[in-house]
Amino acid sequence: MVETAQIAQHLERIEIDGYTIVEDAISAELNDRLRDTIRQIFDELDVRPKGNRAEGFATKRLYNLVPRHPLFQELPVQESVLAVVDELLEPECLLSGTTAMDIGPGERLQGLHADDGLFKIGRPHRPMMSTTIWALTDFTAENGATRIVPGSHREPGHPDPDDESIAVPAEMPARSVLIMDSQLWHCGGPNTTEDQWRLGLNVQYVRGFFRTQQNHYLSIPHEQVPTFSPRLRQLLGFELYRGIMGHVDGRSPAAVVGAATEKAAAYGASTDDNPFGDSEVAAPRPADGEPGA
Ligand SMILES: O=C(O)CCC(=O)C(=O)O
């Protein structure tokens, strides 16, 4: 359980600087299992750099981690991170995506950007997306630590992708998590080492009414969904947002794929801020002779 005072401190830092770092966010055991499992999957799938600027020329990347191994179900619900993100984005945020990024020797600067830059809603705005970057190896200036521009979440525009002079490396030991307001200008750093790989995970969240970056409805095998915890299902968009949004013919996606959900029907199960009022109030019965009697 993360203490309220700690959450408040992280939120204050995010408000002022656009980011915070949670050290010792995960156990050494989980860190090592995640690192080894990801690298094993890289080998099994023969993952190679994609060869473009955004995804890297010397970086191994893998998207859609949750269905690939039961261990990855722990990522989106990690309390030390989610407790902060939940407050930043308000209840019922969604998982926007999960990505492993192993930056190899010789990689160049990725290019400064804001992860929510595709939202054409003007800048600055209230936090709509939060990018969390998990260091599974130590992040150093030399091996490609994420570059960040503190305070840039308040800038009205977008950065020159190549202007490395304004960025600082977010150096942090393994087991730390960098939590950002996704308006913050940042990018993967260059790796100038001879032989070090920098493994990070991007676990990204977005407010519940936005489109997610990765499409969980098509990338998660539906037979897995009933085995997930209700919170994980909710983060993946398989539960209704505020009891209404995301329904399938009036039913929750969770019910459609066979999960035992408490809120199977839309509208009837909507939450307090249901614009239609309290769903428990019975409709007046029509009088005899009226339509519907
Ligand atoms: O690898 C990193 O540290 C950041 C990567 C990033 O910003 C991105 O892929 O959008």
Domains with residue ranges and CATH for the chain: 4-206 (2.60.120.620)
Point out which residues pair with 147 in neighbouring strands. Answer: 169, 187
Distance 98 CA to ligand 1 centre (A): 12
For atom 2 of ligand 1, which residue has the closest CA?
A: 188
- Least confident stretch, 182-191, 197-206, 261-270: 261-270
Give the three-state DSSP class for 180.
strand
Cα angle 277-278-281, degrees, rounded to a multiple of 5:
120
Q: Is 143 a pocket residue for ligand 1 (Cβ < 6 Å)?
A: no
Q: Would the pLDDT of 292 be above 60?
A: no
Mutation to probe ligand 1, out of 115, 118, 178, 187 (largest number of atoms < 8 A from CB): 187
How far apart are alpha carbons 131 and 89 in whole angstroms? Answer: 11
Residue 79 phi/psi, 5-degree rounding, is -60, -40
- Least confident stretch, 59-63, 159-163, 189-193, 272-276: 272-276
Q: Is 146 a pocket residue for ligand 1 (Cβ < 6 Å)?
A: yes
Contact 231, 85 (CB under 8 A): no
Q: Would the pLDDT of 293 be above 60?
A: no
Q: Would the pLDDT of 284 be above 80?
A: no
Distance 146 CA to ligand 1 centre (A): 7
Burial class for 11, CB neighbours closer than 10 Å (0-12, 13-18, 19+): middle
- % of the chain surpassing 90 pLDDT: 87
Q: Would the pLDDT of 1 be above 90?
A: no
pLDDT of residue 221: 98
Q: Would the pLDDT of 281 be above 60?
A: no
pLDDT of residue 262: 87
Q: Is 200 a pocket residue for ligand 1 (Cβ < 6 Å)?
A: yes
Tens digits of per-residue pLDDT, 233-243?
999 999 999 99
Q: How confident is the model at residue 268 (pLDDT cuts 50, 70, 90)?
A: confident
For atom 4 of ligand 1, which residue has the closest CA?
A: 188
Mutation to probe ligand 1, out of 38, 118, 130, 186 (largest number of atoms < 8 A from CB): 186
pLDDT of residue 277: 66
Q: Would the pLDDT of 98 be above 80?
A: yes
Residue 181 phi/psi, 5-degree rounding, is -75, 125
pLDDT of residue 279: 59
Tell me how far CA of residue 241 lies from CA of 73, 106, 203, 246, 250, in angstroms. Answer: 20, 43, 20, 7, 13
Contact 228, 108 (CB under 8 A): no
Q: Is 190 a pocket residue for ligand 1 (Cβ < 6 Å)?
A: no
Q: Would the pLDDT of 285 be above 70?
A: no
pLDDT of residue 254: 97
Q: Is 148 a pocket residue for ligand 1 (Cβ < 6 Å)?
A: no
